[in-house]
């Protein structure tokens, strides 16, 4: 090959390479982070499918969906939410954050407060409203700021799960869960079992007061709301959980353990223990427990009812949302994708096909939710957003600590709640 | 250029990558957190000078005081038991010629295993329903206990695990020290009619003083910084019964994103460790014996 020809070949190769790289670069890349250890194992594959579909439909856009928690830290049993959250915060602070990311509403609060989250454009909010999004879901994603800071990925609220087999054994109607707190206490006593030494061998109801403080506060919030209370006042600037309702709700917790002895401080208290038959009633906040139970505890005869009422049936709701980075250079593309993701067709695939609680009321009409186990969730009255403040992340652990402190009898009920309220008010006043 | 200067220059050049690494990843964060402890500093941008407010808040916090007392509890029991046990095992191994390497390896295996992995395993060992510890106790009609859920048992359980994990390391150090003591001393003592206990008291322990201080210092440094086992096994609970200082630092810095407050707590811990190490070094110099 002579020199001229060699030069020509080199020139053409360079041109072709530049052309190819130019074509690749012409695609707008939108980075999207999720935490595989925390996201529902049922919705995650659907999310990847939908992203693939969107990428195929939009030749000039590439949604780069990445699980950034491949360490499997969830396997430690401590959950990976905090590690994921720290990773996202550090990335946002150093301006290498994703364009869009998934997280719990409580964990979205600090970046919202610091101005790192882009408020949803009006067309996205309008479309969500048009598609029938639950009002409380919008409230949860706005955190009392008047703006909506994302779209829902999945939503969670509480209901009472119970083991029908134990109901039959105790002479209770397995089709009717406890309706009031009096029913609830009576049922819990009847369902509990003790050995000859008086040691609890089956909990009538599993009071959640150990483990993560946020989880502890979350589950107690159901009872607070059922007693007519709320975490913060209407303005979202003052603690309201140390009210009469709060005292009644926490006293109920203390009584269940120490007076009625339907649970014990050293008794197992997770959904696995419920699935294994150590617990007769439990109130989680995640409806994805139902497919989980169906998958891993197939023999369990599951009943679901509303949270028992003191003054009303109510439940604390949380949203795991997807938000857009305020500093992203592709905000428009990011919101267009999220808007598409929340259109009825895609939302149906995400929620209904995976038997997840829907964020949109019309989807709750789907026959898939007709079974008793879902009906109690989808028709649950008074689902109230827990995210009433951008300082939720700091507030919840304080409430959780107050609950633990009272149940372990380190403090009286009123004292624990008043102490926690003083700390919360200090944070809110900053 | 002189040959010596050239040689020095090459040495400095060879050392510089490590130095750069240390400056970026060790010294810069140390200095930055010292500065940050005087600021209202959140990970998402806020950086306002507040003087000693973080320190003030720290000492007013009942939670921090609880963390300090829990850490002290952990340090006292974990360090004392593991040091005594390590010495005892080393002493026995030094005397037993048969299966020596087998026992040495057996005791050392936990040291080289991942702490997080071990913590998960021990969490299962302590599990109230299916845990092997309760099963073992049931063979002797001892009622089962919720080791990590009971506020009185949680910290001792964590201490038990850390003793199991760390004793092997200190045992090897003691063993090295024991091997360095001349047999002549013991033979002379035996001729004089000294009992085993007297040999330990008047020969072994005095000659092992520098090693003992080294083990105590290393063990204290480790114990004051206890964290992974707490994070994995108890998350500081129940009711803060196992909440330790590093957990407090982690929670404030990385859960509540209050880096300034977390930095202040880190410096309080740093000063505690510094003072203890200083006292130990002073004590060692006073008591130092020659001959090892």
Q: ipTM, 2 decimals? A: 0.77
Asked whether the predicted pLDDT for residue B288 surpasses 90, the reply is no
Residue of B nearest to A423 (CA): B61
A300-A302-A307 Cα angle (round to 5): 145
For residue A413, whether the previous peptide bond is cis, meaning omega lies within 30 degrees of 0, is: no
The candidate with the shortest Cα–Cα distance to B58, out of B224, B248, B223, is B248
Sign of CA pseudo-dihedral A203, A205, A208, A209? negative
Sign of CA pseudo-dihedral B228, B229, B234, B236? negative
CA distance B153 to chain A (A): 11
> Do A256 and A394 share a structural domain?
yes
Identity of the residue in B119, B149, B256 whose CB atom sits nearest the CB atom of A210: B149
Best B149, B229, B250 member to test A by mutation, with max A CBs in 10 Å, is: B149
C-alpha distances in Å from residue B52, one per residue of B65, B250, B263, B269:
17, 20, 12, 16
Question: What are chain B's domains?
Answer: 63-287 (1.10.3720.10)
CA distance B35 to chain A (A): 18
Domain-embedded: residue A14: no
Domain-embedded: residue A370: no
Looking at residue A19, its pLDDT comes to 60
For tokens 């040959």, name the residue.
B3
B130 touches chain A (CB under 8 A): no
Q: How many structural domains comprise chain A?
A: 2
> Do A200 and A115 share a structural domain?
no
B151 touches chain A (CB under 8 A): yes
Q: Is B41 left (phi over 0), alpha (psi -120 to 50) or beta?
A: beta
Beta strands in chain B (DSSP E): 39-41, 47-49
Domain-embedded: residue A183: yes
> Do A393 and A340 share a structural domain?
no
Best B44, B57, B133 member to test A by mutation, with max A CBs in 10 Å, is: B44
The CA distance from A228 to A122, in Å, is 33
Asked whether the predicted pLDDT for residue A166 surpasses 50, the reply is yes
Best B121, B231, B239 member to test A by mutation, with max A CBs in 10 Å, is: B239
Do residue B44 and residue A397 have CB atoms under 8 angstroms apart? Answer: no
Looking at residue A143, its pLDDT comes to 87
Identity of the residue in B44, B149, B239 whose CB atom sits nearest the CB atom of A110: B44
CA distance A93 to chain B (A): 5
CB neighbours of A349 closer than 8 A, spacing ≥ 6? A46, A49, A50
Best B67, B126, B257, B259 member to test A by mutation, with max A CBs in 10 Å, is: B257
Domain-embedded: residue A382: no
Most confidently predicted of A104-108, A242-246, B194-198: A242-246
> Do A248 and A142 share a structural domain?
no
Looking at residue A22, its pLDDT comes to 56
DSSP state of B119: H
Q: Residue A227: pLDDT band by 50, 70, 90 thresholds?
A: very high
> Do A166 and A142 share a structural domain?
no
Looking at residue A124, its pLDDT comes to 97
Looking at residue B174, its pLDDT comes to 95
Query: Chain A partners of B237 at a C-beta cutoff of 8 Å?
Result: 210-211, 404
Q: Residue B1: pLDDT band by 50, 70, 90 thresholds?
A: low
| Tally of CA atoms within 13 A in the half-sphere of B107 that contains its CB | 24
Instruction: Tell me the CATH number at A116.
Output: 3.40.190.10
The CA distance from A174 to A30, in Å, is 50
Asked whether the predicted pLDDT for residue A357 surpasses 80, the reply is yes
CB neighbours of A78 closer than 8 A, spacing ≥ 6? B231, B232, B235
Do residue A199 and residue B143 have CB atoms under 8 angstroms apart? Answer: yes
Residue of B nearest to A400 (CA): B239
pLDDT digits (tens, 9 = 90+) for A112-121: 988 999 999 9
Beta bridge partner(s), residue A196: none
For A115, the token pair is 């101005």
SS (H, E, C) chain A: CCHHHHHHHHHHHHHHHHHHHHHHHHCEEEEEEECCCCCCCCCHHHHHHHHHHHHHHCCCEEEEEEECCCCCHHHHCCCCHHHHHHHHHHHHHCCCCCCEEEEEHHHHHHHHHCCCECCCCHHHHHHHHHCCECHHHHHHCCCCCCCCCCEEEEEECCCEEEEHHHHHHCCCCCCCCCCEHHHHHHHHHHHCEECCCCCEEEECCCCCCCCCHHHHHHHHHHHHHHCCCCCECCCCCCECCCCHHHHHHHHHHHHHHHHCCCCCCCCCCCHHHHHCCCECEECCCCCCHHHHHHHHCCCCCEEEECCCECCCCCEEEEEEEEEEECCCCCHHHHHHHHHHHCCHHHHHHHHCCCCCCCCEHHHHHCHHHCCHHHHHHHCCCCEEECCCCCCHHHHHHHHHHHHHHHHCCCCCHHHHHHHHHHHHHHHHHC
pLDDT digits (tens, 9 = 90+) for A6-25: 777 777 777 767 666 555 55
Domain-embedded: residue A19: no
Residue of A nearest to B150 (CA): A266
Average pLDDT, chain B: 90
- Who has greater pLDDT, A86 or B27? B27
pLDDT digits (tens, 9 = 90+) for A128-152: 999 999 999 999 999 888 899 999 9
> Do A275 and A410 share a structural domain?
yes
Looking at residue A307, its pLDDT comes to 96
> Do A345 and A226 share a structural domain?
no
Residues B167-188, mean pLDDT to the nearest whole number: 92
The CA distance from A100 to A98, in Å, is 5
Residue of A nearest to B148 (CA): A266
> Do A34 and A126 share a structural domain?
yes
> Do A191 and A45 share a structural domain?
no
CA distance A28 to chain B (A): 27
Q: Residue A78: pLDDT band by 50, 70, 90 thresholds?
A: very low
The CA distance from A71 to A67, in Å, is 10
Beta bridge partner(s), residue A180: A309
DSSP state of B99: T
C-alpha distances in Å from residue A41, one per residue of A35, A352, A369:
11, 15, 19
CA distance A96 to chain B (A): 13
Containing domain of residue A275, as a range? Answer: 160-317+387-429
Domain-embedded: residue A74: yes
Return the CA Rg of chain B: 24
> Do A183 and A147 share a structural domain?
no
B146 touches chain A (CB under 8 A): yes
> Do A413 and A283 share a structural domain?
yes
Contact between B260 and B54 under an 8 Å Cβ cutoff? The reply is: yes
pLDDT digits (tens, 9 = 90+) for B215-252: 999 999 999 999 999 999 998 988 899 999 999 999 88
Domain-embedded: residue A13: no
Domain-embedded: residue A165: yes
Do residue A405 and residue B239 have CB atoms under 8 angstroms apart? Answer: yes
The CA distance from A86 to A71, in Å, is 14
The CA distance from A419 to A410, in Å, is 12
CA distance A186 to chain B (A): 26
> Do A269 and A124 share a structural domain?
no
Sheet strands side by side (includes A302-305) = A281-282, A160-163, A302-305
């Amino acid at each position: 090959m002579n020199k001229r020809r060699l030069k020509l070949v080199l020139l053409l190769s360079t041109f072709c390479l530049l052309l190819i790289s130019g074509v690749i670069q012409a695609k707008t890349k939108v980075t999207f982070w999720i935490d595989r250890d925390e996201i529902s194992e049922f919705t995650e594959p659907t999310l990847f499918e939908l992203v693939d579909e969107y990428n195929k439909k939009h030749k000039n856009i590439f949604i780069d969906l990445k699980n950034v928690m491949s360490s499997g830290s969830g396997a430690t049993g401590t959950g990976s939410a905090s590690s994921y959250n720290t990773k996202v915060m550090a990335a946002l602070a150093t301006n290498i954050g994703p364009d869009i990311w998934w997280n719990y509403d409580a964990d979205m609060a600090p970046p919202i407060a610091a101005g790192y989250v882009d408020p949803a454009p009006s067309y996205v909010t309008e479309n969500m409203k048009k598609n029938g999004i639950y009002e409380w879901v919008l409230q949860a994603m706005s955190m009392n700021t008047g703006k909506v800071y994302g779209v829902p990925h999945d939503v969670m609220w509480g209901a009472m799960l119970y083991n029908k087999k134990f109901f039959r054994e105790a002479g209770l109607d397995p089709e009717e869960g406890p309706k009031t707190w009096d029913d609830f206490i009576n049922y819990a006593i009847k369902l509990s079992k003790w050995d000859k030494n008086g040691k609890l061998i089956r909990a009538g109801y599993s009071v959640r007061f150990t483990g993560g403080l946020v989880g502890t506060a979350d589950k107690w919030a159901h009872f607070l709301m059922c007693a007519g209370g709320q975490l913060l006042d209407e303005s979202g600037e003052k603690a309201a959980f140390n009210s009469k309702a709060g005292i009644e709700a926490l006293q109920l917790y203390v009584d269940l353990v120490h007076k009625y002895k339907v649970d014990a401080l050293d008794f197992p208290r997770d959904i696995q223990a419920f699935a294994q038959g150590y617990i007769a009633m439990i109130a989680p906040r995640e409806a994805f427990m139902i497919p989980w139970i169906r998958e891993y505890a197939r023999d369990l005869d599951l009943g679901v009812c509303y949270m028992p009422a003191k003054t009303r049936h109510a439940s604390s709701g949380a949203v795991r949302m997807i938000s857009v980075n305020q500093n992203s250079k592709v905000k428009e593309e990011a919101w267009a994708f999220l808007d598409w993701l929340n259109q009825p067709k895609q939302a149906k695939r995400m929620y209904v096909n995976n038997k997840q609680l829907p964020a949109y009321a019309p989807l709750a009409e789907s026959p898939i939710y007709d079974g008793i186990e879902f009906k109690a969730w989808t028709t649950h009255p008074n689902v109230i957003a827990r995210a009433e403040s951008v300082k939720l992340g700091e507030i919840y652990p304080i409430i959780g600590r107050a609950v633990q402190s009272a149940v372990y009898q380190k403090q009286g009920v009123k004292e624990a709640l008043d102490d926690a309220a003083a700390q919360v008010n200090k944070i809110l006043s900053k | 250029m002189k040959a010596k200067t050239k040689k020095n220059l090459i040495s400095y050049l060879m050392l510089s990558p490590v130095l750069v690494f240390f400056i970026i990843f060790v010294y810069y964060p140390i200095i930055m957190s010292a500065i940050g402890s005087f600021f209202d500093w959140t990970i998402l941008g806020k950086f306002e000078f507040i003087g000693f407010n973080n320190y003030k808040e720290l000492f007013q916090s009942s939670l921090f005081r609880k963390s300090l007392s829990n850490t002290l509890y952990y340090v006292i029991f974990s360090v004392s038991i593991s040091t005594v046990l390590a010495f005892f095992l080393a002493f026995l191994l030094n005397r037993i010629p048969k299966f020596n390497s087998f026992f040495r390896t057996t005791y050392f295996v936990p040291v080289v295993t991942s702490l997080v992995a071990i913590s998960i395993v021990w969490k299962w060992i302590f599990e109230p329903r299916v845990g092997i510890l309760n099963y073992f106790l049931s063979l002797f009609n001892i009622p089962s206990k919720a080791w990590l859920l009971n506020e009185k048992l949680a910290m001792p359980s964590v201490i038990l695990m850390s003793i199991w994990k760390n004793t092997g390391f200190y045992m090897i150090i003691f063993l090295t020290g024991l091997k360095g003591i001349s047999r002549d001393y013991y033979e002379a003592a035996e001729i004089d009619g000294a009992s085993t206990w007297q040999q330990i008291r008047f020969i072994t322990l005095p000659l092992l003083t520098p090693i003992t201080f080294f083990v105590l210092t290393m063990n204290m440094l480790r114990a004051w910084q206890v964290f992974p086992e707490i994070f994995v096994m108890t998350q500081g609970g129940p009711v803060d019964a196992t909440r330790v200082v590093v957990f407090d630092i982690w929670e404030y810095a990385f859960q509540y994103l209050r880096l300034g407050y977390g930095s202040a707590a880190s410096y309080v811990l740093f000063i505690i460790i510094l003072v203890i190490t200083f006292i130990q070094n002073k004590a060692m110099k006073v008591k130092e014996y020659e001959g090892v």
